[in-house]
Amino acid sequence: MMPHAQHGPYVGRLLTASLALLGLLLGVALLWPSAATAHPGTLDEYGGHFDERTGIYHYHRPKADLVRRKREYLTWITPSTDGELRGDVASIDRPDAIWVQVPYRPAFQDLVPLVARSDRDDRKQLVRVWFRFVSPEASVTLGREYQDWFRKKVTYELDTKLKGKAITVQFHIYPAGRMKGMVLVGEENVNLWLVLNGWSYPVLTDGDNPHVEQFRKAEDNARKSKTGLWERVQ
């Protein structure tokens, strides 16, 4: 029995060390997120997934061909500030902005860090674009009742004209995260259309407007024809 007793302390130390190692491994396992937690859901065709818990999209396997295709939907003129966006009008809930659905996830993801959270929907790939050089919301001051009517009327006209249409936006992103732009349907300038139909005054102090003379002429035509807001202006 004595020879076996000599191994007692060694076995005890080995057992203690093994238990300590097992405890350490269990602790790490509990603290380290599982694959299901770190990567909830399966990866999509772009090599990423939408995190239901945080509401944020994550890339895991970006692909070179996806980066090249982004240019079909998003072209930068001045990085992170000015460019052209191509998408579809998803909805219109106010007279001075539209919601644009960007069909290509990698292009939309480039805008996420630049556009305010309140002006985008990461799940649906929507970004709110505010009309530049016009402001239907601030164009009428003839009493609350008329303002409410005018606001709804312009929203309706925009919805009828634009919803579901493919558009190009020549945009500028401001420091606060607001994207403002010139909205084009084919060759038609929708911002100019708003002025021409009397749905807005032109705003000529919001940066350099390359079409300033066209906007002034459109305003003159709307005033002379007494259309839109000019119907009540003497």
Out of 43-47, 183-187, 206-210, least confident range: 206-210
Confidence of residue 15 (pLDDT cuts 50, 70, 90): low
**Model confidence at 220: pLDDT above 60:** yes
pLDDT digits (tens, 9 = 90+) for 163-203: 999 999 999 999 999 999 999 999 999 999 999 999 999 99
Per-residue model confidence (pLDDT) at position 31: 43
Per-residue model confidence (pLDDT) at position 47: 79
Assigned token pair, 125: 């790939």
Name beta bridge partners: 166: 88
Q: What is the mean pLDDT of the chain?
A: 85
Q: Is 192:199 a contact under the CB 8 Å cutoff?
A: no
Per-residue model confidence (pLDDT) at position 81: 96
Name the H helices within the chain: 2-6, 8-31, 35-38, 64-69, 105-111, 144-162, 190-196, 212-225
pLDDT digits (tens, 9 = 90+) for 68-78: 789 999 999 99
Q: What single string gives the DSSP state of each residue in 97-137? A: EEEEE-S-HHHHHHHTTTS-GGGEETTTTEEEEEESSB-GG
Q: Is 180:133 a contact under the CB 8 Å cutoff?
A: no
Q: From residue 136, how far is each of 112, 141, 209, 233 by CA, in Å?
A: 27, 11, 17, 15
Candidates 53, 128, 60; CA nearest to 93 is: 128
Out of 88-92, 213-217, 229-233, least confident range: 229-233
Per-residue model confidence (pLDDT) at position 233: 66
pLDDT digits (tens, 9 = 90+) for 105-152: 999 999 999 999 999 999 999 999 999 999 998 877 777 888 899 999
